[in-house]
Amino acid sequence: MQVILTDANTSILRFDNGEDIMERLLTYAEEHTINGAVFSIIGATKEITIAYYNLQEKKYQDKTFTEDMEIVSVTGNIGRMDGKPIIHAHGVFSDSDYQTHGGHLKKLVVSATGEVTLTSLRGELNRSFDETTGLNLLK
Ligand code: ZN
């Protein structure tokens, strides 16, 4: 990962072949003490794990795709929970037939390139576990 440009509170980050953006972004947030941020991603991927949250069962149903796809759009935020950074992101990806797959994003491995626009916020985004939904909600 390289920081390509930083302007005020926004940085453009470039991720390369084989890097898992979700994992590396967590490390970056830890290293730079990011307590609140929003981000978007475009680029290309060779492996994703996305999920659908089954509210009845209060659990995620994961699905992994191991094929080359466009990262059409990912949007998310970085906050804190129990003193550690936590990422919440959703994404849409298109395959060679232009079909899209989308959902709650768990893993995103770059193929050609991953371009992240990250804006740090003043203040903190904090999350805590919510019994009703079974999710870690913003508070
Ligand atoms: Zn989600």
pLDDT digits (tens, 9 = 90+) for 97-113: 999 999 999 999 999 99
- pLDDT of the residue at 38: 98
pTM metric for this prediction: 0.95
CA of 96 to the centre of ligand 1 (A): 25
CA of 65 to the centre of ligand 1 (A): 18
CA of 10 to the centre of ligand 1 (A): 23
Helices in the chain by DSSP H: which ranges? 21-31
CB-based contact 109:48 (threshold 8 Å): yes
- In whole angstroms, give the CA distance from residue 113 to residue 51: 23
- pLDDT of the residue at 124: 94
CA of 60 to the centre of ligand 1 (A): 9
In the chain, which stretches have pLDDT less than 70? none
CA of 63 to the centre of ligand 1 (A): 14
- pLDDT of the residue at 86: 97
- pLDDT of the residue at 60: 97
